[in-house]
Amino acid sequence: MFAHSSEGTLKSISTGSSKSQTCSKIHFIVLGFLLIAFLAAMLTVYNQINANNKICATPYCAEAAKYLIESIDETVDPCEDFYQFACGTWIQNSRTPNDSTTSGLLHKKLDNSVIDILTSSSTNDTNEPKAIINARNLYHSCINEKYIENEGINPILSLINNEFGGWPIIQSSWNNSTFDLLNLLLKLRKYQNNIIFGLDTTTNDKHSTEYALGISQGDLGLGEREYYMNESKITVAYRRYIFDLASVLSNDTSTIEQDVNDMYEFEKELAKFDFTNYLTSAYASANVTLMGSDIVIVEEIDYLYNVSSIIEQVLPRILQNYVIWRF
């Protein structure tokens, strides 16, 4: 009886132990799969993080990094003065030009872009604006020193004589019967010369969608009006410079001194000019028709009031000499 009972008990214990071991194996297998899946997921996330954190080695990134390094001031604690830390070195190394109140990276980039355009070779791009083509051609003609030396002064004298009616101060004789100040100034406007008065097109400050014409006093030979108020070493040197230049270009110097003095006196008295027809014709050459409702901004009304009366009293020879000199 005892032996039978003991054998059944042993069988029962053996069967229970086998089931327990099977369950444990299953648990270990499931746990193993879960661990492998977890490690695979972690590895995937890690690879994605590393992929997103790759060091950028493109030229743009290198330039940006260089700019940042050259801008920060590492001697400053960013927790104390972050602005000085981030921009201190840039402020120290950047200089504001004398003709500007600001200096910035955009200005430098613009200058560099202009340089790249001017120094680049001509292209066959039919969509390239004519203004860019002309600017590039002008730049290349200016730096072609060999060609300039070979041509000498002949191109400029040819332009003055054939298109502008000559420069009386260096000519033995000059015919004033065909003199037309309006026509002469219109021709010179093609070369962006602000002689007698300045002219430009600006945006209306009150209505940004509208354009306005800007009229002001023209550029003067000495730059500032104050120089003409009193005789000085500067005014004497200015007239001497005109005399010397004209003398080099002429074989007859007998009338040059008088012409120079007349031009200078006229420049001193410049004040007023009747320019309605001039404005209409100047903008018509650019295929722009001026209307009576167009806005005209007059910056120096007193100057413009007096120009007409002075021009009416000046001889054509003086006007021609002065305008060509200022060209």
Query: Which two structure tokens, joined as six digits, stand for 236?
Result: 């004497």
Q: Which of 73-82, 135-144, 288-297 has the lowest mean pLDDT?
A: 288-297
pLDDT for 229: 82
CA distance 303 to 299: 9
Is the pLDDT at 198 greater than 90? The verdict is: no
Check whether 53 has a pLDDT greater than 70: no
Lowest-confidence segment of 68-82, 84-98, 178-192, 278-292 by average pLDDT? 278-292
What stretch(es) of the chain map to CATH 1.10.1380.10? 166-326
Mean pLDDT of 265-279: 61
pTM > 0.75: no
User: What number of helices (H) and strands (E) belong to the chain?
Assistant: 13, 3
Give the relative orientation of helices 82-93 and 59-71 as an angle to the nearest 10 degrees: 100
Q: Does 256 score more than 80 pLDDT?
A: yes
Distance CA 101, CA 217 (A): 23
The model's confidence at residue 98, banded by pLDDT at 50, 70 and 90, is low
* Residue 323 · residue 183 · CB < 8 Å: no
Q: 272 exposed, middle or buried (CB, 10 Å; 0-12, 13-18, 19+)?
A: buried
Residue 138 pLDDT exceeds 50: yes
Using DSSP, state whether 199 is helix, strand or coil: strand
Q: What CATH number was assigned to the domain covering residues 166-326? A: 1.10.1380.10
pLDDT at 241: 92
**88 C-beta neighbours (distance < 10 Å), count:** 17
In the predicted structure, residue 4 carries a pLDDT above the cut 50: no
CA angle 24, 25, 26 (to 5 degrees): 90
Question: What is the percent of the chain with per-residue pLDDT over 70, rounded to a whole number?
Answer: 70
Which residues is 149 bridged to in the sheet?
A: none
Res. 35: pLDDT tops 50: yes
Q: Is 212 helix (H, G, I), strand (E, B) or coil?
A: strand
pLDDT at 271 over 50: no
Confidence of residue 21 (pLDDT cuts 50, 70, 90): low
Does pLDDT of 294 surpass 70?
A: no
Question: Best-predicted range by mean pLDDT among 2-11, 220-229, 283-292?
Answer: 220-229
> What are the structure tokens assigned to 133, written together?
């083509």
